[in-house]
Amino acid sequence: MKLANKVAVVTGGARGIGRGIAERFNAEGCRVMIGDIDADGATATAKAIGEGCAALTTDVSTQAGAQSLVDAAVERFGRLDICVNNAAIVRLGLLLDLSEADFDAVMAVNIKGAFLTGQAAARQMVAQGGGGAIINLSSVNAIVAIPNQTAYTVSKGAIHQLTRSMAVQLARHGIRANAIGPGLIDTELNQDVWSDDPDGYGRLMARTPLGRAGEPGEIAAVAAFLASDDASYVTGETIYADGGRLALNLTLGPEERGS
């Protein structure tokens, strides 16, 4: 098992990609502390994963909330080796219409939360010695923009530079920092969106050469690699797991999609 005897925190681990990462890490022998603002969801996920997984209700957009997650992992499992900053929210709005409150809310969770949790985790890793790994969840929207997701795309662009900054500063402590940029992933949230906008789903598939949405487990597999010794010489990088979406310049027609 790639992550045997390791301890990780996973923010936003109650569902979706975060849950997939927690499940994969646990299957690889890692003990996992899930942090999520959804108390019932986090508790249910930890219970479903079983032994070696626990949950804490916390708000990582605050320093106290981020620190409490790290402290809980250390108290429960004795140390901390891996930090996954997955928690994120979306507030829809065009540039000319987006409210200050919605912009601030997205930044507080998506980028400030990653900074605060990563900072608290890195301090713990430095104090205990032995290095570690930080994995930030970015998005293809760090590169391409969706008009009505102004704040979200800005926050994911910031994750790119936060990851690089972490990598160059923490390398001397043996701590690696990388990011994952998912494309369209089949999560509960996206399923709700697709049910209301089947045409939108079709347009996204026309921009995805593999012709399907990704699964949370496929992102979790990338996270497991980045957290493991297999990635011992990888730091400051963002891996885009997007079905080829960023590589495509034009929309695929029916013949090219094989439909």
Catalytic site residue 201? no
* Residue whose pair of structure tokens reads 């507080």 in the numeric block: 108
Beta strands in the chain (DSSP E): 7-11, 31-36, 53-57, 82-85, 132-137, 175-182, 238-241
Out of 152, 201, 233, 240, pick the active-site residue. Answer: 152
Residue 140's Cα: distance from chain center in Å? 12
Q: Which residues contact 228 (CB under 8 A, 6 or more apart)?
A: 2, 3, 28
DSSP-derived letter for residue 78 is S
AA letter at 39: A
Q: Which residues contact 8 (CB under 8 A, 6 or more apart)?
A: 22, 25, 30, 31, 32, 33, 73, 80, 81, 82, 83, 84, 227
213 sits in which H/E element: none
Residues classed as catalytic: 152
